[in-house]
Structure 1
């Protein structure tokens, strides 16, 4: 019996930090009242052409539909999260989408054009990245591409930097209204230790990048797949947060784009 008690204590100690203190969840799957579409919580309203790379997408399947964000990384390519494309049969892609209901261009693509990471895990929230091929678009002041990090053997952790997240996610945890305009927020990038203290090291790997959500400013339901941009370069993709809500001060987690530059290049080419 003593041995068994010692074993349990040892297991609890070893697993502390591995297992999450709070349940991590993709923003798309957060429980909410009302519509899945809203705004960045407590963010600022974007002006037309401020984020020409921003993409909005309405995904559909035989069980329902959902809204996600994304970014235009080439005239034929949209970058988003795997949890957005997972299970979808088609997507309506909104480009030049400052006003959600009035995109400059709208395209429909089937799941044949989805390139979801083969090792995406909905259980551990790993490899949460997808590409979508769309008909070639013409760039303008309201539709344009965002740069990705250069291919390198080493990258900065970005810790201490401030980056911009944008999307049409909910304005608050209690919001039920649909967003009419794109929202954005400036978030502080923190070390993965801060994030793993909440979500555990089994979920927060080196392929994740995390930000603070001080003042209840956060990505939220509807922002899934959207871009996190630092100095004109996309460094993250909205991946997951705390299932308990967006306004409680828990970190936002993003797929770290630098971890997938080779994967992206293998699909879209140079």
Structure 2
């Protein structure tokens, strides 16, 4: 999934956003939970995941960036990667433990976990280095941010049917044209400064009228996250 209809995130305004790379090829986004743990989408899993934190313009590195390797990959036990077309993205989450640990800087900071789920109509921001055009794809050097609104669960189910589980969160813009897209998967949906969603799936092309993006609802997974990474 990717960002369509957004604009470049201000430099320094996305310290919890990381980029997952596979042999230097950008793969997905991720959300920094601590100096050693990243939350992303399970469907982003590959071998040899590298994590880049503190980045902004991928074509002009500044020295603020930090590289680490994912040494442990914990896919949510409910995620089923065997269903081919991934018709069900249930439990589309994985946790990555990185080495060496990241150093906290103004450009690398963990995201806060939620104490409650976001209410319908909450304004949120989704961000990533995914494609800015759809269905043809064009990938930006800088992360794009777009403001979207949380869509009620029943409304979302009317669009996508039973594929939308209680553990998913939908967010979009009623008029369309603003959405996450290919390449944004695994990245954070941030509402009122708190990590509420991880980009999972949506319709293709992205940004269609009445077709919100679908996210894993982080709040519902706090027990699994805490059990996996310990108290942070």
What TM-score do the two structures reach when normalised by structure 1?
Answer: 0.77
Mapped to 2, the partners of 1:156 and 1:92 lie a distance apart of 30
Alpha-carbon separation, structure 1, partners of 2:198 and 2:114: 13
Say which of 4, 16, 30 aligns to 1:70: 30
Q: Whose helix fraction is larger, Structure 1's or Structure 2's?
A: 1
Q: Report the CA distance between 1:66 and its aligned residue.
A: 5.5
Please report how far the alpha carbon of residue 175 of structure 1 lies from its aligned counterpart in structure 2 after TM superposition.
Answer: 4.3
Report Cα offsets for 1:72-99 as digits up to 9, x if no partner: 11010111011111xx111121111211
- 1:127 aligns with 91
| 1:27-42 equivalence runs, <5 A | 27=1, 40-42=3-5
Task: Mark the CA change 1:239 to 1:186 in structure 2 (over 3 Å): closer, same or farther.
Answer: same
Give the conservation status (yes or no) of the 8 Å contact 1:59–1:84: no
What is the distance in 2 between the residues matched to 1:173 and 1:127? 26
Pick the aligned partner of 2:50 from 80, 88, 92. 92
Residue 107 of structure 1 corresponds to 67
Matching residue of 1:161:
122
Deviations 1:18-53 (A, max 9, x none): xxxxxxxxx3xxxxxxxxxxx611101112111111
* 1:194 aligns to 2:155 (yes or no): yes
Does the Cα contact within 8 Å between 2:3 and 2:181 map onto a contact in 1? yes
Is 1:49–2:8 an aligned residue pair? Answer: no
Report how many residues are paired: 221
CA distance in 1, matches of 2:48, 2:205: 28
Unaligned runs of 5+ in 2: 81-85
Alpha-carbon shift at residue 163 of structure 1 (Å): 0.6
Q: CA deviation at 1:262?
A: 0.3
* 1:245 maps onto 2:205 in alignment: yes
Matches of 1:56 and 1:222, distance apart in 2 = 10
Contact 1:92 1:106 in 2 (8 A): no
- Partner residue, 1:12: none
Give the structure with higher Rg (CA). Answer: 1
Kindly state the Cα deviation for residue 177 of structure 1 after the two structures are TM-superposed.
3.1
Structure 1 residue matching 2:223: 3-state secondary structure: helix
Matches within 5 A, 1:248-267: 248-249=208-209, 250-267=211-228
CA–CA distance in 2 between the matches of 1:239 and 1:59? 19
Q: Conserved in 2, the CA contact under 8 Å of 1:69 and 1:226?
A: yes
